[in-house]
Chains A and B, each alone.
Chain A
Amino acid sequence: MINSVRNTVLAICNKNNYGYISPSDFNLFGQQAQMDMFEDYFYQYNYQINKVNAHTTGSSYANLAENLLEVIDSFSVYEALVNNPPATNNYSLPAIIIGNTGDFYYINRLQFKNLDIEKVSESKLLNLTNSLLTAPTEEWPAYIVRGNTATIYPDTIAGAGVVFCQYIRYPLAPKWTYSTLTNGEPVFNHTSADYQDFELPLSDEPMLTTKILQYAGISIRETEVVNTMNTMEANENQQEQ
């Protein structure tokens, strides 16, 4: 999808070699656009949930909340957390995963054996642990987050390979790669080791293009491009609701 998007962006912007977008600029704009749309998925999902609860949405193909959930779930990762320091009830939250991603976006749940570990606010921790009825046990474990560390209660839950995490990661940064120049133009090479396509669904290509064009329009100081793309985005959002 990334080459198609780039070609479209260049076709719209690049006129008489005035609006040329370099590969590195395109990658930066692409990352911004993808992150913007990724974040927007969660707002859209919440909006669609409210519509479902108001009985103003259909089922099956018209169930947009389910469709959005599918996209969000495509960024779901499940992995064991690393004990830090070892043999304690402190675990490092996922920071580095494959490729060039940075971080987790949202920790959905921690798991111990076949049980969910419940996230609690640190402001409630002492109330929770001092309550006979709700104190965390190995049947009802809980955790708090301090910085990049999850502390699990009770502290008998410790050691490597016992706590697992399911989280939504950020999309990988897109990278349009090339290896050679032909007539001064870079030639797309998807076999490059650092190649990375957009991770959003194909149906998001028009919106991705629109957003990249907004950034590109600002970059080349072309107000007309920015305004046009803003209008297109607003229209599209209106239609999708």
Chain B
Amino acid sequence: MAYLSGYQYYENAGAVPEDENWGSYQYVSLTDVVNNFMLIYQGNHELVNNINRYQVLFHAKRAIQELNYDAFKEIKALELNVCDDLRFVLPPDFVNWVRLSLFKNGMLYPLTENIQANSAESYLQDNNCNILFDQSGNILQPEHSLLDTERLAGTARTMYLNNDSIYNGSEGYNIDGQWYFDFQIGARYGLNTETANVNPTFRLDKAAGVINFSSGMAGEQCVLEYISDGMNRQPFTGTGSKGDPYVPNPSDVGVKVHKFFEEFIYAYIKYTILNSRFGIQEYVVRRAQKDKSALLRNAKIRISNLHPARLLMNMRGQNKLIK
């Protein structure tokens, strides 16, 4: 049964943004989850009693975070231009990456994660390789390490078979009138398929909060597909009045969970509360744990949306040996 009128759903009742309610019926809000739990699963005659709402809120948010990491399959995408610094600053709600692609000529080219370091810090040293310090005893550092300097200048070489390949520009040989430069003269047995990719490479620097690219990405469009934790954090607006602690004010408006996982969230909250409480019989905890696990399994199957029509195209190729 719809909970919004058609006008509210399609046009947000004339308010902005118009698409505010599109698809909203798939989800249940965090507010609803906490409110329903406090109403139905907490009370004088329930297993969970005398619990603070903030504890329920905490466990509900943790459940939503965990679901966002691997069960929801709700992948966000952000496209940015990579400038000469060959750097992509991670989005504010970034938790982990799924795929990076180069968007060029109307096509998405998946990028390969470099298995080698492509960025490093460096210390200044004298001719005898002694590290240099300032008056306060702090180590002196250059702006960029040599590794970074060469990468930014486009002179660094890579083991990948792209424009920065160590074979690119090396001496070649001529066979039947065709020059080959991409391989060194001499025997070569097979191909290292792990590094056999023509696209630029990248490496995630988690601590610095950036993705560093090889020089081939300079001036190119990059699409980052990533997952978040579903918390929709807003900027802090708390002021903290005199004598009172600073109160951050992130808004939970928009934090939601797919309806397939609603029952799991209740089971998860119930289990985590019972599991951490003193004096709860072990069989009660185990029952709650089994309940939670079974519901997660069911929800994952549901959200994977397996049905014959979707499998059909894949199954059509089942007899083709080389795809």
Contact = CB atoms under 8 A, between A and B. Distances in A.
A134 B238 contact: no
B58 interface: yes
Nearest to B46: A53
B250 A140 contact: no
B228 to A, nearest CB: 14
Contacts of B247: 129, 135-136, 153-155
Nearest to A126: B245
B54 interface: yes
A139 B255 CA distance: 12
Given A118-B53, A140-B252, A142-B54, A133 B62 contact: yes
Nearest to A89: B241
A228 interface: no
B18 to A, nearest CB: 24
Q: A-side binding surface: helix, strand, loop or mixed?
A: loop
A151 B54 contact: no
A120 B245 contact: no
B253 A120 contact: no
A134 B252 contact: no
B36 interface: no
A239 B112 CA distance: 80
B45 A53 contact: yes
Interface string B219-248: 000000000000001000111110011111
B36 to A, nearest CB: 14
Contact of B250 (A52, A53, A118, A132): A132
Contact of B238 (A139, A142, A155): A155
Contact of B58 (A134, A142, A153): A134
Nearest to A136: B247
Contact of A88 (B57, B233, B241): B241
Given A120-B54, A134-B58, A142-B54, A129 B248 contact: yes
B155 interface: no
Contact of B244 (A135, A151, A156): A151
A183 B233 CA distance: 80
B127 interface: no
A103 interface: no
B61 interface: yes
Contact of B61 (A52, A133, A142, A156): A133
A118 B44 CA distance: 18
A28 B59 CA distance: 51
B184 interface: no
A128 B244 CA distance: 13
B84 to A, nearest CB: 35
Nearest to A49: B44
B246 A134 contact: no
A132 B248 contact: yes
B58 A133 contact: yes
With most chain A CB atoms within 10 A of its CB, the pick from B31, B62, B245, B250 is B245
B252 A129 contact: no
A139 B34 CA distance: 11
Contact of A125 (B57, B245, B253): B245
A139 B253 contact: yes
Contacts of B250: 132, 135, 137
B45 to A, nearest CB: 6
B96 interface: no
Contact of B54 (A88, A138, A140, A156): A140
A116 interface: yes
B293 interface: no
Interface string B248-262: 111111000000000
Contacts of A88: 241
B238 A133 contact: no
Nearest to A151: B244
Contacts of A128: 54
8 contacts: A52-B44, A89-B241, A118-B53, A135-B248, A135-B249, A137-B250, A155-B240, A155-B244
Interface of B: 31, 34, 44-45, 52-54, 57-58, 61-62, 233, 237-241, 244-253
In the complex, the 9 A-B pairs of residues with the closest C-beta atoms, listed nearest first: A134-B54, A154-B247, A118-B53, A133-B61, A49-B44, A129-B245, A155-B241, A135-B248, A129-B247
